[in-house]
Amino acid sequence: MSKQKSNAIFLLLIVLFAERFLDPLGIITAMGRTYTLLTYVIFVMTGFFAFRKSIRKNECFPYKWYYLLVGSIGLSAVMAHLFHNQGLIVSFSAIFGAILTYLLLLFLIKLNIPAEKYMQTIRRFAYIGMTCYVINALVFPAKIIGGAEFENVDMSRGIVRIGLPLVLWIVLLFLYSLNQWIQSRSQKSLYCAILCYIFIILSVTRQVILLSTLLGGLMLLKEAGWGKRILVFAVAVLFFFVVLPRIPIYKTMVSLTEDQVERSQEELPDIRLMGYLYFCDIDQVNAYTRILGNGTPHNSSKWHQQEALNAEKNKIYDVDVSWAAFYNHYGLIAVIALLAVFLITAKRCYNRQDRHISYWILYIIGTAFASGVIWFQNQIIEILVVIAMAYAPKRIHSSSSHCQLPKNEK
């Protein structure tokens, strides 16, 4: 088997295990800790295989910021031991999964997988995600893909909220297809963008719809002349004020948002505002934990029991405010390091060929304020795969927009 094929197999295994094989009928969930250990084995095997290859460093990748990020996550275990009376070994055990997950980015860069292979994998999984949505919609209220049966049916947005697997890559495929259409005017790319956008709407997740629409619109306007920009703006205003208010899903989501704002003014603040206040201030022990983080509670510790009880009592969950949770667990240095990796990558990709990656990174930064996009392991790995793709070797690239790519040493 050639090296390229074996590398592609490792990429496929990483994604499949991270996505829990989409958990058909809840089989993976039932495996519990055993499946987690199997996932770690696959990640570690990928690392061993990657470091067996003698590949020089990619000269563009921000290694210093990346190592600072991984180091900050590791150091947070010491903070958990010092300020939360959690054993040092137990504290390191609690962050082991996070460190190993972020190390996958280094492993992928070492594997030197071509950018085309990354995009091919992302495209296929995006289509799989859309197919899974259709399957679950057809058998609703039963659930075939993504775990156990639906516990609570959410109809607050006008249609049932089923959940869209691999939504991050569906948004990326939407932006990629738009960018391809801008460059080639290919009808196939346009149809793909429209298909992705339909499923983005069906996700009925407000920040996903809003940011995807905004970034997609900006991408289209970027290439248009002033005359077309004015025309598009006029059409957008007409659509926003005349057509959109007549769409039932839109009216329901607007009503839901207004109700949430009204409740936050009359009673308690919005749960996400409470989450930011709690994770960024109330739950901080001292200045050291603000800089280096509190660490991660282990499931067996008293600290975890206290945090779980508090979350259930006050309805404050880390998955609702992942930037705040990331700051609380790993500290300000880790937040700055992660943002630096994001923004450096976005700047690197801000060229005609790769602009969709830049826009998508802005999407990730934005949605992380009100979702668990940088907190769920599977979505973290989806992000890392795209970042690795940004630094992957390309068949055709401009010397003015890309750094020298790593080559195999003889």
Q: How confident is the model at residue 405 (pLDDT cuts 50, 70, 90)?
A: very low
Dist. CA 401–CA 60, nearest whole Å? 11
* Nearest one of 313, 223, 232 to 271, comparing CA atoms: 313
**Lowest mean pLDDT across 74-78, 262-266, 293-297, 378-382:** 262-266
Work out the percent of the chain whose per-residue pLDDT is above 70.
81
Give pTM, 2 decimals: 0.89
Instruction: Identify the helix (H) or strand (E) that includes residue 99.
Output: helix 88-111
Task: Write out pLDDT tens, residues 179-229.
Answer: 999 999 999 999 999 999 999 999 888 889 999 999 998 898 887 666 666
Task: Write out pLDDT tens, residues 136-157.
Answer: 989 888 888 886 565 555 555 5
53-58, Cβ contacts within 8 angstroms, sequence gap of 24 or more:
53/3, 53/110, 53/111, 53/112, 53/408, 54/408, 54/409, 55/110, 55/112, 55/406, 55/407, 55/408, 55/409, 56/406, 56/407, 56/409, 57/406, 58/109, 58/391, 58/403, 58/405, 58/406
* Nearest one of 358, 332, 384, 397 to 110, comparing CA atoms: 384
Domain boundaries along the sequence of the chain: 1-391
Does residue 249 surpass a pLDDT of 50?
yes
| Among 61-65, 213-217, 370-374, the range of highest mean pLDDT | 61-65
**Lowest mean pLDDT across 152-156, 358-362, 396-400:** 396-400
**Lowest mean pLDDT across 243-247, 272-276, 307-311, 404-408:** 404-408
